[in-house]
Amino acid sequence: MVPLMSKREIRIVGSTDELSRAAARVLLRCAKEAVRARGRCALALSGGATPKKLYRLLADEGEQFRRELPWEKIQFFWSDERHVAPDDPESNYRMAAEMMLAHVSVPPENVHRVMAEDPEAERAAREYERTLGEVFHLSAGEVPRFDLILLGMGACGHTASLFPHSEALRERAHLVVATWVEKFKAHRITLTPPVLNNSSLVMFLVSGREKAETVRAVLEGPYEPDLYPAQVVRPTDGEALWLMDEEAARLLGQRDS
Ligand code: 6PG
């Protein structure tokens, strides 16, 4: 039995633009490899502001990524979603559709958004879990293995919609849960740690000075995922790649002065 490998790589690039370009190169390589090996690429997109430039770059007509990505062989999912309608300005689906999907030829049946317009967030989570089961042809209890999951990290150390002290951090039975986020006074729907940690590659995109303290705590501090949920992401047999700009990484490798 080949020992399971959980690898972590930290890659620091100069600016936010370079961050998006470096991420696009990783995504392109990963997608090509997955399609070569399995005939398709299972990709989960993250929300928030950081990936906007990446999505725009991938769809940019003047760039190699748009030409070389096997768009029609990518199955698009989301790492998490706000509990809003798909046309809501807060929607992670809307952001990715506006920045990227509306500008490239992806078969609609390959875009699997969370039905977050459902007034019942828990029902939306169950529906998304059913979608994962169908698209990945999962048997009962099986966990999907994504080729690439994109994640961000909030300044509080959350990732996807796994927030500090959330029950969702300890979820091991479900693939998707609805979670109440007190600070937003709203529900979120999120992939759970078993799915994130079954991915072949998880790529964190982190940018900005305001995240530097949290980046250091997550990557160099004690393992306290209840405080820093991003720490829960350690792919069992895969890799976590932390792609950051200089600003976000500026405190790494420094001991407390
Ligand atoms: C969301 C994201 C969330 C995000 C972080 C970082 O729905 O907002 O999934 O986990 O990745 O909050 O967000 P920024 O990129 O905007 O800093």
**10 Å Cβ neighbour count for 253?**
10
Q: What is the distance between the alpha carbons of residues 242 and 161, in angstroms, rounded to a whole number? A: 18
pLDDT band of residue 94 (cuts 50, 70, 90) is very high
pLDDT band of residue 1 (cuts 50, 70, 90) is low
- Ligand 1: centre distance to CA 48 (Å): 4
The confidence score (pLDDT) of residue 16 equals 86
Task: Look up the pTM and report it.
Answer: 0.96
Q: What is the distance between the alpha carbons of residues 167 and 45, in angstroms, rounded to a whole number? A: 23
Q: DSSP string spanning 32-79? A: HHHHHHHSSEEEEE--SSTHHHHHHHHH-TTSHHHHHS-GGGEEEEES
- Ligand 1: centre distance to CA 154 (Å): 6
Contacts of 206 (CB under 8 A, 6+ apart): 50, 152, 153, 215, 242, 243, 244, 245, 248, 249
- Ligand 1: centre distance to CA 80 (Å): 9
Ligand 1 atom nearest 80 alpha carbon: 9
pLDDT digits (tens, 9 = 90+) for 155-185: 999 999 999 999 999 999 999 999 999 999 9
**Ligand 1 pocket: which of 94, 153, 233 to mutate (most atoms within 8 A of CB):** 153
Bridge partners of residue 190, in order along the sequence: 80, 177
- Ligand 1: centre distance to CA 168 (Å): 16
Q: Does the pLDDT of residue 257 top 50, yes or no?
A: no
Calculate mean pLDDT across residues 51-65.
97
**Ligand 1 pocket: which of 16, 20, 45, 158 to mutate (most atoms within 8 A of CB):** 158
Q: What is the CA radius of gyration of the chain?
A: 17
Q: In the structure, which protein residues have their CB atom closer than 6 angstroms to any atom of ligand 1?
A: 46-50, 79-80, 92, 152-154, 158-160
pLDDT digits (tens, 9 = 90+) for 230-253: 999 999 999 999 999 999 999 999
